[in-house]
Structure 1
Amino acid sequence: SLKEKQGEGGDPDLKPSMDAEGNVIPIAEEADKWVLKVCEEIINEYKDQFTLEELIFGPGMPLTESKEVRNMAKSRNLRHDIRQLDGQSYLVIQHRMQPQDMAKCIHTSAGGRSGKYVLVEKSSLPVYQDIVPDLDKQIALSGSLAGQTKREVKAPNPLQGFKPKILSEEEEGEEVVFDQGQNKLY
């Protein structure tokens, strides 16, 4: 057990590690091999799917197991990230895809969406001319632009309040991929 490894019982020659203030430094627990085996099977199954859905582990996954699972994802060319929700950490794994592959994936999925992604017609997006009045208004409210960099003048988000239209396969025209979670276009 951890107490025995730290010298609080068991081997009397094994002394606990101490920091500068004299506090006991805990020995890192090893990752549970059974949990890692199940995670590896799930990741291998996910790797072979053509989807934009995310694979989510957590909350409460120990750090040692989380590191091992992230290494598994990395070795299989999958993206991984840690996200927080209500103070809990979640490990999120997803496929690395180019925008063209993302569009193909969405076209082949039911309902014109895959995960948090949806296809929208490029013509339905606002163009620069449509947001110029809002930009001018923002500039007027913020004062003169003299001496300010582009980063200091925050333009309004042209997609704020934008509701994407889900396209059917019969509709034609240029399309882009819209990430509803991140409010990004690809």
Structure 2
Amino acid sequence: MTESKRQRQKAQTKEHLIETAYAVFSSRGIMAARMADIAAAAGVSHGTVFLHFNTQEALIEEVVAHYGALIALETHALAERCGSMEELLRAHLGAISAYEPFYTRLVLENRMLPTAARDSWIDIQSAVSLHFNRVAERESSRIEKRGIPDAMLFNMWMGLVHYYLANGGLFAPEGNVIRRHGTTLVGSFLKLLNG
């Protein structure tokens, strides 16, 4: 069955709303953005947004699921080729760098998000964790972990990255923490591992 012109237009409008909401969430915050803000930024009526998303929660869930999947896929794609912990850490930063403003909002607001959006956030972290644990196991003879379990090492890495992102105004007032401090984050974490 072929798609009608009306169905294509409706799908395009929904896609435009998701992209617009992503941009608004990235700049203003996920929970602070209103449906009216999305409508105005998209150049559509307030009712058009509600036609595609019954509630603000539904819009948030869809945007986080869509962009969360992109971040997780990028993480998998980059991490699959990594042979060392350093390469993996750089790949992780590379995967989130294109989405840094939105990812930072997820770091800051994840506990306030609707349940399905929090689940998408967990999926992103799981993508990183999977590859982190694989590399940690492979490099266990080369990495001096000082008896620290792999799960704790992963949490230390994520905590370091998320701390810098959450305090981006302090670490990178121009707005790009990863570009400015990525090499330092990777190097510092590797020093913690290897003494």
Fold conserved between structures, TM > 0.5: no
TM-score by length of 2: 0.28
- Which structure dedicates a bigger proportion of its chain to helix? 2
Higher share in strand: 1
State the TM-score, normalizing by the size of structure 1: 0.29
Bigger Rg, which one: 1
